[in-house]
Chains A and B, each alone.
Chain A
Amino acid sequence: MPLSDTPAPMLSVQDLSVWFGDTHNRFQAVDTVSFTLAAGESLGLVGESGSGKSTILKAITHLATDISGHIHLDGTPLTGPRDKSFYSTVQMVFQDPYASLHPRHTVDRCLSEPLRLQGATDIDNRVRQVLEEVGLGAKFRFRYPHQLSGGQRQRVAIARALVQNARLLLLDEPTSALDVSVQAEILNLLSDLRKDRGLTFLFVSHDLAVISHMCDRILVMHQGKITEVLQDKQLQSGTAETPYTQGLIEASRGFTRKEMAGA
Chain B
Amino acid sequence: MKRFLTVEDLWVRFKTRYDMVEAVRGVSFSLGRERLGIVGESGSGKSMTGRALLGLVRPPGDVSATRIDFLGQDLHRLPEKKMRHIRGKEISMVMQDPKYSLNPVLTVGEQITEAYRLHNRVSQKIARAKALEMLEEVQIRDPERVYKAYPSELSGGMGQRVMIAMMLIPDPKVLIADEPTSALDVTVQLKILQLLDQLVEKRGMGLIFISHDLPLVSSFCDRILIMYGGRIVETCRADQLDQATHPYTRGLLQSLPDIRHPRERLSVLTRDESWKQEESVNAII
Contacts and interface: CB of A to CB of B under 8 A. Distances in A.
Nearest to B261: A236
B218 A254 contact: yes
B186 A248 contact: yes
Contact of A191 (B215, B251, B258, B265): B265
A208 B259 contact: yes
A248 B187 contact: yes
Nearest to B183: A49
A187 B260 CA distance: 18
Interface string B245-258: 00000011001111
Contact of A254 (B202, B216, B262, B263): B216
Contacts of B264: 191
Interface in A149-198: 179-181, 183-185, 187-188, 191
Nearest to A192: B265
Contact of B194 (A212, A236, A258): A258
A164 to B, nearest CB: 27
A187 B266 contact: yes
Given A181-B41, A188-B265, A255 B257 contact: no
A179 B256 contact: no
Contacts of A213: 257, 262-263, 266
Contact of B186 (A179, A206, A232, A256): A206
A247 B185 CA distance: 12
Specify the main secondary structure of chain A where it touches its partner.
helix
Interface string A21-37: 00000000000000000
Nearest to B187: A251
A252 B255 contact: no
Given A180-B255, A212-B262, A257 B190 contact: no
A236 B198 contact: no
Contacts of A251: 186-187, 189-190
B259 A236 contact: yes
A224 B233 CA distance: 44
B45 to A, nearest CB: 14
A256 B220 CA distance: 7
Interface string B262-285: 111111110000000000000000
Given A181-B251, A247-B187, A256-B219, A235 B259 contact: yes
B153 interface: no
A179 B202 contact: no
A212 B243 CA distance: 25
Nearest to A254: B219
Interface residues of A, number: 34
Interface residues on B, range: 35 or more
A228 interface: no
B266 A184 contact: yes
Contacts of A212: 257, 259, 262
A209 interface: yes
A1 interface: no
A249 interface: yes
A263 B220 contact: no
Contacts of B188: 48
Contacts of A248: 186-187
Interface in B187-220: 187-190, 193-194, 197-198, 201-202, 212, 214-216, 218-220
Interface string A66-77: 000000000000
Contacts of B185: 48-49, 206
Given A48-B185, A251-B189, A254-B219, A187 B257 contact: yes
Contacts of B103: none
B212 A179 contact: yes
Nearest to A235: B259
A258 to B, nearest CB: 7
Contacts of B265: 188, 191
A210 interface: yes
B42 interface: yes
Contacts of B256: 180, 184, 209
Contact of B198 (A179, A181, A210, A260): A260
Contacts of B189: 251
A154 B26 CA distance: 33
Interface of B: 41-42, 156, 185-190, 193-194, 197-198, 201-202, 212, 214-216, 218-220, 251-252, 255-260, 262-269
25 contacts: A48-B185, A48-B188, A180-B252, A180-B255, A180-B256, A181-B252, A181-B268, A181-B269, A187-B257, A187-B266, A188-B265, A191-B264, A210-B257, A212-B257, A212-B259, A235-B259, A238-B259, A248-B186, A251-B187, A254-B215, A254-B218, A255-B216, A255-B219, A256-B219, A263-B202
Give me the 6 closest cross-chain CB pairs, A-B, nearest first: A254-B219, A213-B257, A184-B255, A184-B266, A181-B269, A251-B186
